[in-house]
Every structure is written in C-alpha cells, then in structure tokens.
C-alpha cells in the first residue's frame, strides 16, 4: 500500500529543509518599485471609494434629515480654511488618483 499523508508531508519538509531554500517568495525579498507602489495605492483608493460611497449611501437612507440640514451643521462649526482644504483634498485625492491611474492602466 502507499504512504500516508503524514509520511509524505514529513518527506516533503525534510527535503525542503535540506535544500535550505525559501519555499516561496516573500514580500521582504522584493525591491519596492514605482509600479508596485502605484498598484497598491490604486487598490487602496478603490477600497476607500467603495467604502465611502457605501457609507454615504447608507447614511442617506437611514438619517432622518435631508442633506442641506447636515451641510448647515458643518458650516455652523466654523472650521478653519486649513482644515476645510485638508478635508477637500482627502475627498478628492482618492477619486482623482484612482480615475487617472485606471486610465493610465488602460492606455
């Protein structure tokens, strides 16, 4: 009869231990490159956009007031221009980066 799975696994690990090679590539052996960083950022902005759209859509369904009410609440906070510009950038960057990187990828 054939060998058991446990014996096969023991033989496999023994062979790989003797060869002293890595079993599979790991993130630490790769040198970071611009395309790699752009791909990771593209995925991150895609996830952020989908979560943001889902959050705002759910909020629009569940919150009792209309959008102008909540906009007036934010305006009444009298936030400084630096904070407002930062918030606008935080909203615009994922959309613009994801869009233009997707166009770059298609081209």
Q: Please tell me the total count of domains within the chain.
A: 1
49 is a domain residue: yes
pTM exceeding the 0.75 threshold for the entire prediction: no
Mean pLDDT of the chain: 89
The annotation places the binding site at: 98
For residue 55, pLDDT beyond 90: yes
Q: Which residues are annotated as a binding site for heme?
A: 98
The domain of 67 spans 34-106
pLDDT of residue 22: 67
Q: Please, which residues have CB within 8 angstroms of residue 35's CB and are 6 or more apart in sequence? A: none
Report how far residue 49's alpha carbon sits from residue 43's, in angstroms, rounded to the nearest whole number.
10
Assign 23 a pLDDT band (cuts: 50, 70, 90): low
99 vs 81: CA distance, rounded Å = 27
* Domain contains 47: yes
């Amino acid at each position: 009869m054939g060998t058991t799975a446990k014996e096969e696994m023991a033989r496999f690990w023994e062979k790989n231990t003797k060869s002293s090679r890595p079993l599979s590539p790991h993130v630490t052996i790769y040198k970071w490159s611009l395309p790699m960083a752009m791909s990771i950022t593209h995925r991150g902005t895609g996830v952020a956009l989908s979560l943001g759209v889902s959050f705002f859509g759910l909020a629009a369904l569940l919150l009792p007031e209309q959008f102008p009410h909540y906009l007036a609440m934010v305006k009444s906070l009298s936030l400084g221009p630096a904070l407002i510009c930062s918030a606008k950038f935080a909203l615009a960057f994922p959309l613009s980066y994801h869009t233009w990187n997707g166009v770059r990828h298609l081209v």
